[in-house]
Amino acid sequence: MDKVSLMYEGKEIVVDADLSHSYIKPGEVGILKDVVQKYKIEAGKPVAIAFTSNSTLSIDALKRALK
């Protein structure tokens, strides 16, 4: 039930965070199709990520993935 805040084109979107070791490459963030469609997020466009309510394990995993 960890959450992250995505900033996209001046809008803040708070979503559930899930970790994947098989679908997402290191340094990338995958966003579920329903979120992409709802907020009209374009592939390849920059998205900023901020941690909201997260466990230490989730924060550490996201930091490793973004290196």
Give 24-44 pLDDT, tens digit per residue.
877 777 888 999 999 999 988
CA distances from 55 to 14, 47, 62, 67 (A): 16, 22, 11, 19
Q: What is the pLDDT of residue 29?
A: 78
| 54 pLDDT more than 60 | no
60 versus 48: the higher-pLDDT residue is: 48
Domain ranges of the chain: 3-65
User: How far apart (Å, rounded) are the C-alpha atoms in residues 15 and 12?
Assistant: 10
In the prediction, which pLDDT does 49 show?
Answer: 85
pLDDT range class, residue 64, cuts 50, 70, 90: confident
Return the pLDDT at 30: 84
